[in-house]
């Protein structure tokens, strides 16, 4: 566990996403879950050593399996934005794990199919403020990576955990994304409202203004390329032609290139289908 500022911690030592903890008089607010069982036990042992009250609340920053598959072992209440809350309500009780080659971390490990979800029990729409002590914690809706994507913000300390809003040296997950909304979210990060904030990405750790602008440029480029395909009524499979240039633009480590190719192949195709393919109502 690493300290950002007094009462605010994170760890990127576990498989899956970066996890966070905010220590308050009433208890600890946790941000996402480690992926593997042993990691969850180790993380919760670290959390229990904090000088905080007994309450525990887990926040899902969106519904990606990487941030929630390990949460069942925590056995605590979960808060999520309403769209994420609804996503979990639609899912079966157990994780089927039938989508491979999406470039997700969980795909590298066996044993996940059959695991029961720790589904959210509390939801919000735009934002919710948690008053568990002198330090207020605000969970805010910031769509883009997914409809239900959110941030955990500590205004008094100018710290924000922003999920997959910003990624460095890797491509984004696109299958459930909305790129125009995502670009708007990045503009919010660059606004005066969040000047001097410390931002923590779920997959890249601390990110700065340069990283945010680079991410924005990447997404704008993706929109332009996808719209060109749509104008000539290209097939969803034609999105594969975009993979090489988009991947080169993110400059990923060589050891992860194949995984990120899978991520883009799956994400681009599904994004194109969701946003650009118009079904013929007569064929339904």
Give percent above pLDDT 70 in the chain: 97
d(CA 79, CA 118): 11
In a domain, 148, yes or no: yes
Model confidence at 6: pLDDT above 90: yes
- The average pLDDT across 41-54 equals 97
Across the chain, mean pLDDT equals: 95
Distance between CA atoms of residues 150 and 167, nearest Å: 15
Q: What is the CATH number of the domain that holds 167?
A: 3.60.15.10
Domain coverage including residue 89: 2-208
Q: Give the span between the Cα atoms of 228 and 239, in whole angstroms.
A: 11
pLDDT(283) > 50: no
Q: For residue range 181-198, list pLDDT tens digits in order.
A: 999 999 999 999 999 999
Asked whether residue 37 is assigned to any structural domain, the reply reads yes
In a domain, 111, yes or no: yes
Residues 6+ apart with CB under 8 A from 127: 138, 139, 140, 141
* Per-residue pLDDT at 111 exceeds 90: no
In this structure, what DSSP letter does residue 241 have?
A: G
Q: What is the DSSP letter of 116?
A: B
Q: Residue 254 domain-assigned? A: no
Say if strands 122-124 and 77-81 run parallel, antiparallel, or are unpaired.
Answer: parallel
The pLDDT of residue 281 is 38
In a domain, 26, yes or no: yes
The pLDDT of residue 113: 79
CA dihedral 46, 152, 62, 191 (to 10 degrees): -140
Q: How confident is the model over 134-140, as a mean pLDDT?
A: 97
Question: Domains in the chain: how many in total?
Answer: 1
- Residue 149 and residue 135: Cα distance in Å, rounded? 23
Query: In the predicted model, is pLDDT for residue 252 greater than 60?
Result: yes
Please give the pLDDT value at position 114.
85
Secondary structure element (H or E) that encloses residue 84, with its range: helix 82-90
Instruction: Answer whether residue 68 is part of any domain.
Output: yes
Q: Does the structure show a pLDDT above 80 at 284? A: no
Report how far residue 35's alpha carbon sits from residue 250's, in angstroms, rounded to the nearest whole number. Answer: 25
CA atoms of 141 and 162, how far apart (whole Å): 10
Confidence at residue 86, expressed as pLDDT on a 0 to 100 scale: 98
pLDDT above 80 (res 99) = no
Give the number of residues written for the chain: 284
- Res. 279 pLDDT band, cuts 50 70 90: low
Query: In this model, does residue 18 exceed pLDDT 60?
Result: yes
């Amino acid at each position: 566990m690493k300290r950002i500022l007094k009462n605010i911690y994170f760890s990127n030592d576990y498989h899956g996403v970066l996890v966070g903890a905010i220590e308050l008089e009433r208890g600890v607010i946790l941000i996402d879950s480690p992926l593997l069982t042993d990691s969850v036990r180790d993380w919760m042992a670290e959390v229990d050593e904090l000088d905080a009250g007994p309450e525990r609340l887990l926040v899902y920053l969106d519904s990606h399996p990487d941030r929630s598959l390990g949460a069942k072992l925590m056995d605590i209440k979960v808060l999520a934005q309403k769209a994420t809350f609804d996503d979990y309500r639609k899912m079966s009780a157990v994780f089927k794990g039938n989508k491979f080659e999406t470039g997700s971390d969980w795909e590298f490990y066996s044993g996940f199919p059959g695991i029961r979800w720790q589904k959210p029990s509390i939801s919000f729409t735009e934002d919710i403020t948690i008053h568990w002590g002198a330090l207020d914690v605000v969970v805010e809706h910031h769509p883009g990576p997914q409809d239900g994507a959110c941030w955990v913000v500590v205004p008094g300390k100018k710290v924000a955990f922003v999920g997959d809003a910003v990624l460095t040296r890797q491509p984004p997950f696109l299958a459930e994304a909305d790129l125009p909304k995502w670009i708007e979210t990045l503009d919010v990060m660059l606004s005066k409202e969040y000047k001097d904030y410390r931002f923590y990405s779920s997959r890249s750790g601390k990110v700065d203004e340069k990283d945010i602008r680079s991410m924005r440029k990447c997404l704008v480029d993706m929109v332009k390329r996808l719209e060109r395909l749509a104008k000539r009524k290209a097939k969803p499979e034609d999105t594969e032609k975009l993979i090489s240039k988009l991947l080169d633009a993110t400059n990923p480590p060589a050891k992860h290139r194949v995984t990120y190719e899978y991520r883009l192949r799956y994400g681009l195709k599904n994004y194109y289908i969701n946003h650009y393919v118009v079904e013929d109502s007569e064929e339904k």
